[in-house]
Structure 1
Amino acid sequence: MNRLEREAAARQIMERVPPPVPPELYAEVMRRGARMLRRRVLARRLLLLLMCAAAVAFLVWAMMARPWVEPPSQTTPPYTGW
């Protein structure tokens, strides 16, 4: 087959009338799609809630622990020269 014959064969395949879809299949697909969409929205909301809770927990920890402040010295300098 040359290129033109392959293109013509591909066009014939694409232009065929698709087989009819049973009506009960359409209803089942719509039900499953709606359920998948609800699950996806719920998962996204839970993830957003978890991220917000983690951000609040980090802010509370940072305000209590203050990791940016230098810790106090554990030893005192020697007492000499008086």
Structure 2
Amino acid sequence: MNLPEREAALRRMLERTPPQVPPDLYDEVVRRGLRILRRRAAARRLLWLALLAAAVAFAIWASVAQPWVEPPSTTTPPVSDW
């Protein structure tokens, strides 16, 4: 199909009357859209809650394990009285 044939086919399609849309389609689309928005909001809340739980778990672990403290040396005995 060359360019003039495609243009003619497009013109024929545009000259036809558009198909009838079911009257309850709008209500269906709005209902589905609201459901999708609610699911996204719930997923977003769940992810924020998981992030908060991970941060709290890390803070608790860090306060108990204290990874920034140098472990005591076990290679030499402590110095006693001279």
Q: Give TM-score, length-normalised by structure 1.
A: 0.71
Instruction: Let me know the Cα RMSD of the aligned residues.
Output: 2.4
Deviation at 1:2, TM superposition (A): 2.0
Alignment coverage as a number of residue pairs? 79
Paired-residue identity, % = 67
- Summarize the alignment of residues 1-82 of structure 1 with structure 2, pairs less than 5 Å apart: 1-13=1-13, 15=14, 16-77=16-77
Secondary structure of 2:73's counterpart equals coil
Deviation at 1:60, TM superposition (A): 2.2
Residue ranges of structure 1 left out of the alignment (5+ in a row): none
Residue ranges of structure 2 left out of the alignment (5+ in a row): none
Which structure 1 residue ranges, 4+ long, deviate > 3 Å from structure 2? none
Q: Give TM-score, length-normalised by structure 2.
A: 0.71
> Could you tell me how far apart the structure 1 residues matched to 2:17 and 2:69 are?
73
> Could you tell me how far apart the structure 2 residues matched to 1:68 and 1:8 are?
76
Secondary structure of 1:50's counterpart equals helix
